[in-house]
Amino acid sequence: MDSSPEVDLTLKPIIIGGVVIRDKSFLCWLGKSLELGWLHNKDFEARVGLITNIRMDVSCGEYDGISPLHRACELGKLDMVKYLLANGASPQLLDRFGNTPLQLAIKNSHWDVVKFMRMKGATVKMQSVRVAMELIHAVTKKDYDLLHAWSLSGVDMDSKDYNGRTVMHQAVRLKDEAMVRRLLKYGATPLEKDVWRETALDQARNEMAILSLFDPLFTKHFPTKQAYLQQKT
């Protein structure tokens, strides 16, 4: 008895109403693209080829609105970030959770991607209060990589949380001299007042080592935020 040759069902055409829609190999490629798992592939040419072969919209997203650029930024794939932007991907797309691609690069501490996205005009689309909470969390956890990523993102390092407190308030409260030094380098100041009308400078009055870091710039030359901003302009 003759046996029919085996048919690779993954390549069998999809036929609906007598019309060939697409073969399964195409749908397999499309599925991989929408799942974005292909970004884990280290072969850049293979990743680019997959997009080119199926002529996919580089700004398309999956169920949660996560686009290829979101995933590339999350994974720190700078080569793919450059390729996607060069081919029309929007740097300002929001996923279902309110994240832009830049924000995912920040959260995963991919400094090179953050810097490149900023060069291309990408911005953080978060309320100032949320930014402050993220910064304070990084200071509390002493996550220096994450804090540096935030400093590269263009956000206001003096952003305030719901109580008007800033990262500098938190660093002084923790008596973390090294963190205070780092925050000053990133452009944070001890001059913002919280809801109790207290600045980080006020908090540091009994911490001479930290207070010396603020002196004389913030104790004599520019004792208010308004005066400090005026001299910068």
Tokens of 132: 């402050």
| Residue of 73, 65, 112 whose CA lies nearest to 93 | 65
Give pLDDT, residue 176. Answer: 97
Q: Which CATH number is 128-228 given?
A: 1.25.40.20
**In sequence order, what E strands does the chain have?**
13-16, 19-23
CATH topology match: 9-119 vs 128-228? yes
**Residues 98 and 125 sit within 8 Å (Cβ to Cβ):** yes
User: How far, in Å, CA of 35 to CA of 77, rounded?
Assistant: 16
The whole-number pLDDT of residue 190 equals 97
Backbone angles phi, psi at 19, to 5 degrees: -110, 130
Q: Which residues lie closer than 8 Å to 127 by C-beta, 6 or more apart? A: none
Rounded to whole angstroms, how far apart are CA atoms 223 and 57? 53
Per-residue pLDDT of the chain (233 residues; tens, 9 = 90+): 555 555 444 445 545 455 444 545 554 544 554 455 555 555 666 556 555 554 556 676 666 888 889 989 999 989 889 988 988 888 999 999 999 999 999 999 999 999 999 999 999 999 999 999 999 999 999 999 999 999 999 999 999 999 999 999 999 999 999 999 999 999 999 999 999 999 999 999 999 999 999 999 999 898 888 888 788 76
Given the candidates 3.20.20.10, 3.40.50.720, 1.10.10.10, 1.25.40.20, the CATH classification of the domain at 9-119 is 1.25.40.20
Domain spans in the chain, listed from the N-terminal domain onward? 9-119, 128-228
pLDDT, residue 52, reads 58
Helix/strand/coil for 132? helix
| Nearest of 181, 82, 195 to residue 129 by alpha carbon | 195
